[in-house]
Amino acid sequence: MKAIILESDRLIYKPLSIEHLSHDYVEWLNDPEVYQYMETRGNYTLEKLEDFLNKVKRKDILFWGVHLKDSLLHLGNIKIDPVNDRHGTAEYGIMMGRKSEWGKGYAKEASLTIIDYCFNIIELRKITLGVITNNISAVELYKKIGFKTEGILLKQCIYDGVYHDALRMAIFNPKIHHDE
């Protein structure tokens, strides 16, 4: 499955591509405040990012760059990957790297738009994610858009020598009945 261009009130979503290569994007990936609770751990260069974006281009993947509609400024990315066709499930990931735009509701608007697309167009049944319990802004975002906690994985990750618990969260497609 490949991403297509989508739009919402203030934002436009473009399939992630080499067009997204920028110094700002490299800066986000090297910013400890951004990657604090993410698997990526910095040490990015423009060349490494270029290589990553070229690999993304060759894949069938639901991966979007999120942009302001007015200026086309790149704010971050959303990924729905992997998708499990047999079970109708997929894993959600978001990184809004442009810190100056945090707290303006962009992650919420973007998440609701992408999830709506996944449920109503692709007809996924369930979207899942993992998040570190200390990542308050992400946990609050996920709760606000309707994700529910399904489990807690104790001391699941080690970041900078410290153990962290992780939540497994999920949201079901309301159009699909899950009763037995």
Ligand X SMILES: CC(C)(COP(=O)(O)OP(=O)(O)OC[C@H]1O[C@@H](n2cnc3c(N)ncnc32)[C@H](O)[C@@H]1OP(=O)(O)O)[C@@H](O)C(=O)NCCC(=O)NCCS
| Smaller CB separation from ligand X, 53 or 139 | 139
Whether 142 is a known active-site residue: answer yes
| Smaller CB separation from ligand X, 69 or 176 | 69
Q: HSE on the CB side for 171, CA within 13 Å? A: 22
Look up residue 105 and give its DSSP letter.
S
Among candidate residues 44, 117, 142, 163, the one labeled active-site is: 142
Q: How far is the CB of 93 from ligand X (least distance, A)?
A: 7
Rounded Cα gap, residues 52 and 18, in angstroms: 9
End-to-end Cα spacing for the chain: 29
Name the residues that contact ligand X, by CB under 6 A. Answer: 34, 37-38, 76, 94-96, 102-108, 131, 135-138, 140-141, 144
Rounded Cα gap, residues 132 and 166, in angstroms: 4
The CA distances from residue 133 to 108, 159, 165, in Å, are 19, 13, 6
Q: How far is the CB of 86 from ligand X (least distance, A)?
A: 25
Rounded Cα gap, residues 49 and 56, in angstroms: 10
Rounded Cα gap, residues 60 and 124, in angstroms: 16
Q: How far is the CB of 80 from ligand X (least distance, A)?
A: 14
| Smaller CB separation from ligand X, 33 or 86 | 33
Please report which helix (H) or strand (E) contains residue 107, including its range: helix 106-120
| Smaller CB separation from ligand X, 56 or 107 | 107
Q: How far is the CB of 119 from ligand X (least distance, A)?
A: 19
- Would you please indicate which residues are annotated as catalytic (active-site) residues? 142
